Every structure is written in structure tokens, then in C-alpha cells.
A and B are shown apart, each in its own frame.
Chain A
Amino acid sequence: MELSDSVLDHLRHVAALPDLAGTRYELEREIGRGGLGVVYLARDRQLDRHVALKVLDSALDGEAQLIARLEHPGIVPVYEAGTLPDGRIFYAMKLVAGAPLDGYLAGAPSLGERLRAIRRVGEVLAFAHARGTIHRDLKPQNVMVGGFGEVYVMDWGVDAVAGTPAFRAPEAQLDRRSDIYALGALLEFVLPRSAAPALRAIAAKAMNADPTARYTEAPALLADIERFQDGLAVQAWSEPWWHRWRRFGSRNAVLLWPLVAYAGVKLLLFLLRIL
């Protein structure tokens, strides 16, 4: 008996689905696919809630333990980890409703919203670095932005992950500064074409090919973004004098306008006198 291509495709698909027999989860559909495995939408029968179930292609383990050590509002918590009957490792995580950063940008968020997302990512990185953990593969697809603006950093790197070229630091030995590089690349990625040169300079400093010329830690980069948002000079950029004056003007516009108005009034009175 010959099987049609569509039937064969279906069989292949079904065969690839994880066998969740013996677990409390019921598979619904695939929601994502990465270098190390596939993420499914599953229902936890015991607690009657949906979870994100990540099934690793190989026996590689590490991320679940890694995440479990990092309890932070910006890191998706792992509910449970285990092994499937076919030997593959799985873990159930909180299901995050939202879009990856690249999808989020398609909604044309404001610059403030974009920077807020980057700051949240930076805060998560700072937290992980303080606990001796590095991400290794920070990229837009690994940052989820929820419907209420909540930001999650996902897919914490295990040793096998080499990083994504556009967001990967050039050095072979990855460390905290490699994550800083990726954070800079992420900042550059979210910036609109019309972004201020100060912001581009922050991203460029973080992405410097020489790791020692980058920000030493994530909070330093975040502080520079905060300075930019407060209308202050950023450390990454030695701004020209006219730019400094313009920044001063826009920061103090509310005060400068009355002063200009005062000078205008005095000039007007002077002209009225001599005319």
C-alpha cells in the first residue's frame, strides 16, 4: 500500500511529538522551536492551567537548573523538570502571553517603550551576572514582551549554545562582557532610524570589539540610558558643544521661554519708547 505525501508528513509530525504518558501534561500544539528543542503549549491536568513545555532534542540539561537558581520577575519560572519515556528531557515553565521583541517592535512602540524593554532586559542580566550566570544567547527572539509591558528573558544559555551571530560578541571565551555586547546589539536593534546619536553611542560602546572598552557591567549601560532619558550627557558620547546647548535648551525649555518672553517684553517696551 502506498501512502500519500500528506499522510507521510502527518505521520512524521506525529512521530516527532513528545510522548507525555506518565506526566501530568497534555500536549496542545507547538509554539516555538529553538536550537536545543521545541516548546509546546500544554495543559497541566492536575492544576488545570496552561504551561509552556520545553522538550530538548538531546539529553542536554542545565537550563532548567540554571533558571531555577535565578528567581527574578524577568525570568520565566520553571515549574517542573523531568524525563520523557523516550529519554528526552522536558521542563514545564510559566506560559508567557506576549510577543518576542522583534514581534513587539512590529507594533511600532514609542522610543520610551523600546528603551524600557531594554532596561528591563539589562536589569535581568545584572541580576544574573551578580549570581555568576551569563546568558550567552541574548537576541530578540529570546526576549518576550507581555501584553502589559512585562519583559522576560528566556532561553538561558547552556554550554552548547554558541550564540546568534548578529548578537554574539566576537571573543571566543564568553563572559559577562559578552552579554553586555549582546545587550548593546539588542539596544541597536530596537532603536528607530531617527534615534539620537547618544543612544547609538551607548550601543556602540557596549558592542566594542575590545571587551575591555565596553561597559564593565549592565547597570553602567542602564545608567547611561537613564541619563539620556533624563536629558543628561551620556558617558559613551562626547557630545559637540551645539548639541550640549540644544540639550540644555530642551531640558530647560519651560524656564527659557519665560526668560525669552521677558527679554521680548523689555525689547518691546524699549521700541515703544523710541518710536
Chain B
Amino acid sequence: MNKILVGLLFGLVFGALDGATAWFYPEARPLIASILLGSSFKGMVVGLLSGWFARKVQSTTWGIVLGAALGLLFAFLVAATDTLNGRHPYLEIMMPGFVVGAIIGFLTQRVGAPGLARKAGE
């Protein structure tokens, strides 16, 4: 399977699962649908970029590092535009986002076929 597709699929699944944990926060329950949607989208973007990276660089370590960094970055962007009880939930979104990004980065390195190497001169 194409690594970008792998990234999108795992990003969707892990993003959705991460978003679903918001159900445990009673104050976030009314927004669960939009959280799920946003978290899934965020996961897919991280997966897409991690998958693209995995096609270029075959390194589990760097895949995890990039995935974690992307997860952290997008989680920061989400947290910065979101408020929970009148404050930005940086910790609640960024910490899991970091770990989910690392998992997606790992999976895009391990699963799927790497892209064909470009011929010299192309």
C-alpha cells in the first residue's frame, strides 16, 4: 500500500480515537462531533505529511521524530484556536497530539511500500 495512503488511514483512525477521548470531558461532550471531525482531519494531515516523508526517507527514528513534531505543531494550532473553560487547552491537546503524531510517524515508516526511487536526471 502507498505510504501516503497508509498515513491518511492511520491518521484518520488515530485522530478519531484521540478525538473520541474528549467524551470523557463532560464540558466537551456537546462538541464531540466537531472535535471528532477536527481531530480526524488533524490526524490525516499529520499522516499525509508523514507518509510523504516516509517515501523520501526510510528511517523509523526520523519518522517518529517528524510525526511527533507535526503532531505537536498541529495540536498547538488547534489548541490556540480552541478554548475550554475560558482558557486554551494546550496541555490536553498537545500532549496526546505529540504521542499520536509519533505513532503515525512510526507506522508510516513500517507499513506500506516506499515510493519508487527517481531515476538520475529526472
Q: Using CB atoms and an 8 Å cutoff, list the residues of chain A in contact with chain B.
A: 254-255, 258-259, 261-262, 265-266, 268-270, 272-273
Given the interface pairs A265-B95, A266-B96, the reply to whether A258 lies near B102 with Cβ below 8 Å is yes
Q: Which residues of B contact A273 (CB under 8 A)?
A: 25
Q: Is the CB of A262 within 8 A of B107?
A: no
Known contacts A266-B21, A269-B91, A270-B24; is A259 also within 8 Å of B103 by CB?
Answer: yes
Q: Is the CB of B60 within 8 A of A254?
A: yes
Q: Give B122 Cβ to nearest chain A Cβ, in Å.
A: 33
The total number of A-B Cβ pairs within 8 Å is: 33
Residues of A within 8 A of B91 (CB): 269, 272
Report B53-95 CB contacts with A as 1/0, cut-off 8 Å. Answer: 0000000100010000000000000000000000000011001
Q: Are A262 and B106 in contact, with the CB atoms below 8 A?
A: no
Q: Which residues of chain B come closer than 8 Å to A272, judged between CB atoms?
A: 91
How many residues of B are in contact with the other chain, CB < 8 A? 16
**With an 8 A cutoff between CB atoms, is B100 at the interface?**
yes
Contacts of A255 in B (CB 8 A): 103, 106-107, 110
Which one of B21, B24, B25, B103 contacts A258 once the chains associate, using CB atoms below 8 Å? B103
Residue of chain B at shortest CB distance from A264:
B99
Whether B106 contacts A258 by the Cβ 8 Å rule is yes
User: Can you sample 29 A-B contacts with CB below 8 Å?
Assistant: A254-B60, A254-B106, A254-B110, A255-B103, A255-B106, A255-B107, A255-B110, A258-B64, A258-B99, A258-B102, A258-B103, A258-B106, A259-B103, A261-B99, A261-B102, A262-B96, A262-B99, A262-B100, A262-B103, A265-B95, A265-B96, A265-B99, A266-B21, A268-B95, A269-B91, A269-B92, A269-B96, A270-B24, A272-B91
